[in-house]
Chain A
Amino acid sequence: MARRSAPEVNAGSMADIAFLLLIFFLVTTTIETDSGISRKLPALEKENKVPPVIRERNIFVVELNKNNELLVEEAPMELKDLREAAIKFLDNGGGTGKDACNYCQGDKDASLSDNPNIAVISLRNNRETNYASYIAVQNELVAAYTALRNREALRDYGKSFEQMKEDLRDPNYPGDEESLREDIKKIQFKFPEKLSEAEPKK
């Protein structure tokens, strides 16, 4: 008897099976957003600790009331002007003596901050404030710091602060990682993020 060859398996339905799997993965896939504004919360203070005295001109009060209206230094302001106002406040450099700021480019207004090192932005919100508007304000304030840091980084190291941070993340960065980290620290020291958040008002 002649040897029978094994019959060939019909692969015509392979495509169907693969499609089925494909559709399953398509349906179950959710592309998650895992990016956002990173912040550091202040550590819990002891009850009886006396808050440090800060001069009035070094505090920039940003308030969001319960109707989501933005009040900056007790005057209403549009959200789109907030970034500009915060930059103006931080970069004012009106201090003299030990508070003098030799890299600030502001107009040295007497009512704005002495030095970005001691300038504090105080963000107050009401319990009824909407989260979305709070995030928008946070975003603008962080943007103000980033803009100033970018300017300093461009002047000192020839690339923006955001680029420096990106390079730090990049495993293929050709330069020295340790000195890059130091440079980033120096820029952060020039414009430290001093964003204080008061307990929300009832």
Chain B
Amino acid sequence: MSKFNKKKSGELPAISTASLPDIVFMLLFFFMVATVMRQNTLMIENKLPIADQIEKLDKKDLVMYIYAGKPSSRYRASAGDQPRIQLNDKFADVSEIKAFILAERASKREELIPFLTTALKVDGDTNMGLVGDIKKELREVQALKINYTTRTGSAMDN
């Protein structure tokens, strides 16, 4: 009657890994959905200051980014070690801000232009002279809505 013999139960059955791809795909989809691709490659150091009175910028397509800070170590030889402005993917001079804002405006639909905000992503170690110059340029082209991008935390830690 060997037909009815029980199988040998000495070995543990192997754990099925058939659902592993499903789990990994789930993670993958999460990251694909949650990912925001960086728009600009940073060429400067950008350690933002900390503040707690912050507002969120929700409409990403209505934000223009102006970066400023010391050139990162890769570019220090060519760009010097004084704080610089970065617009799009290259270093820029203060005088180029106007053209940048006008170009950004031209690329948006006309009715959206009043809602455009300029986000200043400035390294905490920059001096206010440069920031003041940027603000002066922005005032001259009537780009008055600005946002000092910061990290969240207590302002006392700056």
Contacts and interface: CB of A to CB of B under 8 A. Distances in A.
B151 A136 contact: no
B119 A40 contact: no
Interface residues of A, number: 50
Contacts, number: 163
Interface residues of B, number: 58
Contact of A15 (B20, B49, B117, B140): B20
Contacts of B120: 36
Contacts of A139: 51-53, 150, 155
Contacts of A179: none
A132 B145 contact: no
Contacts of A29: 31, 34-36
Given A126-B128, A130-B128, A134-B128, A36 B37 contact: no
Nearest to B151: A33
B147 A37 contact: yes
Interface in B129-144: 129, 131-132, 135, 138-140, 142-144
B13 interface: no
A2 interface: no
A111 B38 CA distance: 51
Contact of B49 (A11, A42, A132): A132
Interface of A: 11, 14-15, 18-19, 21-22, 25-26, 28-44, 64, 79-80, 125-136, 138-140, 142-143, 146, 169, 199-200
19 contacts: A11-B21, A18-B21, A22-B24, A28-B37, A30-B36, A36-B149, A38-B117, A38-B145, A39-B148, A41-B139, A41-B144, A64-B128, A125-B132, A127-B128, A128-B128, A130-B127, A132-B125, A135-B49, A139-B150
